């Protein structure tokens, strides 16, 4: 109790009830944009103030000292990586936007003090990790990677084999030891003290281990999520918990619990399903899935996104898309410069885990190959995500139209580096200032659409949603109701598509105004959507043109 009683937290955090159509989250590394002679966290703040003032929430990817995986192999949970800046820079970023921190609670770097204690057989770290005989049968364990689960470690007691879900450099913590849970709770509270309004529970699905099970989504893991939610709500009212569980859809939903676990859950089905839709020019699968989507429990919402620092996960397509279609999609992405990462299965085989490519270059063409519609197709995909029920999240490289970073892959040897470019501010600004560059076209148009969304109550995260099935080439979703209602129509195909406005509206209105273009469409006429055109239609009851 002393830990809680002695904690003095800010009381100005985010709140699910306070989220509105004005809220948009940005995902960025602390050094996604760099400037010579300036701490990257300061450069990031300057760029956001000047070029993305619409952003209300910022997810800064791990900003701690690390040994691998671009931050997710944490050496010290309580230090800021000196190469990025200082805690003061983090707090300054939080003065004008809500911050999301990564709570990397499943594993820690083998270069950490705790693991040094394990190697030396000193407390407390000697009991913080899971040590097993080399020949232990771990074939049932669900894996997101293809290397062996047990990593050999040279210690003062000889070679020991420890549990390492993600890599031999990321050693899993032993939550079967109550001291580990207590130590991590202390860190969690400090993050709240330092200004975290949202806490992202990284790789939380793998937290609890129990031999003889798949060691994923175990009841004890869900109890830890409930505990952290209780602590966050008590210590910083309004703060939010979000779980990162890149798994099939129904498994993902389990982290809402009965409305007592995560406030937000990543909508992991969206990135690959929107990609498939655009690549095929057919919205049927996306429409059917969206129509079947059950609403979250009261007080819970989805975090919608298309791209993140990781690849485009494929596990969420299990049970939705046949394996041969997944393989075909992968082949198309490889044609556009992408790669595929594998994971190990319990039967000893490997299967595709994620596609590594920037979302911008993933929109380079269709299954027929590259074409001239990349920017329009990409804008359509991002706008589709932007209007869905929930909180929208943009990876910074999506707002910048960043192409594949093949040089990054060559330098690091890691496939995920293709989507983790570090822009030089001096290189980026001229590209954004010129009107003819893809970066400028994407950035300015997405900012315009985000700004328009922020003015429309129909796009409040919990506003009603209804999906229509009227044409295989169109994805149509209605948000809001009554006078606030907006019907969003997306042509996902590389050809013109016609749609009867009377058939869409089902009413005696005179027509509708496309809020994206401010063009009035009479109900008696057919809509003509160009390839990848988006329309946000507001019905009008009189001759007054909406402006």
Three-class secondary structure assignment of 249-264: HHHHHHHHCCCCCCCE
**Model confidence at 3: pLDDT above 60:** no
Instruction: Return the pLDDT at 8.
Output: 45
Tokens 């966290």 locate to 41
Instruction: Return the pLDDT at 303.
Output: 97
Average pLDDT over residues 232-259: 94
355 close to 338: Cβ distance less than 8 angstroms? yes
The pTM of this model reads 0.95
Instruction: Return the pLDDT at 395.
Output: 98
**Model confidence at 494: pLDDT above 80:** yes
Task: Residue 21: count other Cβ atoms within 10 Å of its Cβ.
Answer: 20
Instruction: Return the pLDDT at 545.
Output: 47
Instruction: Return the pLDDT at 151.
Output: 97
Average pLDDT, the chain: 94
**Who contacts 48 (Cβ-Cβ below 8 Å, separation ≥6)?**
26, 55, 58, 93, 97
242 close to 277: Cβ distance less than 8 angstroms? no
**Model confidence at 71: pLDDT above 90:** yes
Going from the C-alpha of 207 to that of each of 105, 167, 243, 343, the distances in angstroms are: 8, 15, 12, 18
Helices (H), 368-454: 374-387, 396-399, 406-412, 425-433, 438-453
Band of the pLDDT at 6, cuts 50, 70, 90? very low
Active site residue 284: no
**Model confidence at 5: pLDDT above 50:** no
Average pLDDT over residues 526-536: 96
pLDDT in tens, 278-297: 999 999 999 999 999 988 99
**Model confidence at 1: pLDDT above 70:** no
Instruction: Return the pLDDT at 144.
Output: 85
Instruction: Return the pLDDT at 506.
Output: 73
Tokens 């095929």 locate to 280
Tokens of 452: 């328009």
**Model confidence at 466: pLDDT above 50:** yes
Do β-strands 519-522 and 465-468 pair in parallel, antiparallel, or remain unpaired? unpaired
Sign for the pseudo-dihedral over CA of 411, 416, 418, 423? negative
Instruction: Return the pLDDT at 547.
Output: 41
Task: Residue 44: count other Cβ atoms within 10 Å of its Cβ.
Answer: 29
Nearest to 60 by CA among 30, 34, 91, 104: 30
Average pLDDT over residues 511-515: 94
Average pLDDT over residues 535-547: 72
Backbone angles phi, psi at 490, to 5 degrees: -130, 120
Backbone angles phi, psi at 532, to 5 degrees: 65, 20
Round to whole Å and give the CA distance between 88 and 443: 29
Greatest CA span in the chain, whole angstroms? Answer: 84
Going from the C-alpha of 502 to that of each of 86, 104, 524, the distances in angstroms are: 58, 51, 7
Round to whole Å and give the CA distance between 388 and 465: 8
**Who contacts 85 (Cβ-Cβ below 8 Å, separation ≥6)?**
30, 39, 40, 41, 42, 63
Residue of 23, 69, 169, 202 marked catalytic: 202
- For the chain, what percent of residues have pLDDT higher than 90? 87
Instruction: Return the pLDDT at 543.
Output: 53
**Model confidence at 513: pLDDT above 50:** yes
pLDDT in tens, 78-127: 999 999 999 999 999 999 999 999 999 999 999 999 999 999 999 999 99
200 close to 100: Cβ distance less than 8 angstroms? yes
Instruction: Return the pLDDT at 432.
Output: 98
pLDDT in tens, 134-182: 999 999 999 888 889 999 999 999 999 999 999 999 999 999 999 999 9
Average pLDDT over residues 338-343: 93
180 close to 163: Cβ distance less than 8 angstroms? no
**Model confidence at 229: pLDDT above 50:** yes
Band of the pLDDT at 16, cuts 50, 70, 90? low
**Model confidence at 220: pLDDT above 80:** yes
**Model confidence at 13: pLDDT above 80:** no
Instruction: Return the pLDDT at 464.
Output: 95
Round to whole Å and give the CA distance between 317 and 207: 23
Q: Which of 71-80, 229-238, 328-337, 507-516 has the lowest mean pLDDT?
A: 507-516
Round to whole Å and give the CA distance between 99 and 239: 10
3-state secondary structure of 203: coil
Nearest to 171 by CA among 214, 142, 206: 206
Instruction: Return the pLDDT at 163.
Output: 98
């Amino acid at each position: 109790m002393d830990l809680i009683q002695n904690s003095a937290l800010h009381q100005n955090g985010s709140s699910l009830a306070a989220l509105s159509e004005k809220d948009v989250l940005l995902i960025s590394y602390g050094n996604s944009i760099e400037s010579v002679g300036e701490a990257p966290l300061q450069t990031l703040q300057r760029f956001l103030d000047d070029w993305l003032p619409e952003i209300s929430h910022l997810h800064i990817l791990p900003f701690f000292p690390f040994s691998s995986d671009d931050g997710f192999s944490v050496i010290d949970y309580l230090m800021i990586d000196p190469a990025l800046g200082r805690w003061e820079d983090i707090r300054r970023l939080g003065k004008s936007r809500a911050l999301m921190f990564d709570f990397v609670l499943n594993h820690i770097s083998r270069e950490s003090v705790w693991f040094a204690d394990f190697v030396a057989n000193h407390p407390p770290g000697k009991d913080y990790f899971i040590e097993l005989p080399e020949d232990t049968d771990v074939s049932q364990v669900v894996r997101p990677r293809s290397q062996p689960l047990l990593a050999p470690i040279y210690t003062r007691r000889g070679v020991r084999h420890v549990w390492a879900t993600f890599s031999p450099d990321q050693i899993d913590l032993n939550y079967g030891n109550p001291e580990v849970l207590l130590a991590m709770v202390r860190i969690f509270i400090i993050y709240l003290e330092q200004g975290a309004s949202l806490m992202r529970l990284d790789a939380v699905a793998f937290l609890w281990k129990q031999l003889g099970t798949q060691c994923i989504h175990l009841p004890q893991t869900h109890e830890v999520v409930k505990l952290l939610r209780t602590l966050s709500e008590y210590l910083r009212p309004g703060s939010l918990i979000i779980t990162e569980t890149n798994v099939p859809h129904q498994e993902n939903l389990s982290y809402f619990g009965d409305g007592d676990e995560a406030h937000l859950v990543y909508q992991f089905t969206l990135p690959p399903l929107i990609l498939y839709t655009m690549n095929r020019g057919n919205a049927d699968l996306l429409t059917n899935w969206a129509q079947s989507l059950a609403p979250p429990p009261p007080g819970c919402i989805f975090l919608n996104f298309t791209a993140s620092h990781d690849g485009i996960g494929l596990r969420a397509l299990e049970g939705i898309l046949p394996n041969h279609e997944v393989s075909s999609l992968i082949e198309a992405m490889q044609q556009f410069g992408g790669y595929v990462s594998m994971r190990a299965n319990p039967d000893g085989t490997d299967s595709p885990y994620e596609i590594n490519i920037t979302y911008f270059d993933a929109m380079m063409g269709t299954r027929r190959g590259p074409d001239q519609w990349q920017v329009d197709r990409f804008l359509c995909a991002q706008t589709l995500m932007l209007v869905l029920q929930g909180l929208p999240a943009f990876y910074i490289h999506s707002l910048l139209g960043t192409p594949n970073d093949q040089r990054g892959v060559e330098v690091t040897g890691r496939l995920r580096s293709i989507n983790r470019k570090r822009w030089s501010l001096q290189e980026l600004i001229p590209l954004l200032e010129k009107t003819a560059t893809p970066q400028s076209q994407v950035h300015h148009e997405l900012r315009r659409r985000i700004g328009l969304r922020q003015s429309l109550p129909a796009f409040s995260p919990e506003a009603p949603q209804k999906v229509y099935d009227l044409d295989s080439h169109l994805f149509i979703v209605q948000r809001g109701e009554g006078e606030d209602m907006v019907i969003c129509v997306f042509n996902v195909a590389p050809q013109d598509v016609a749609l009867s406005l009377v058939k869409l509206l089902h009413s005696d209105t005179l027509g509708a105004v496309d809020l994206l273009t401010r063009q009035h469409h009479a109900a008696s006429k057919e809509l003509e959507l160009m390839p990848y055109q988006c329309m946000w239609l507001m019905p009008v009851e009189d001759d007054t043109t909406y402006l």
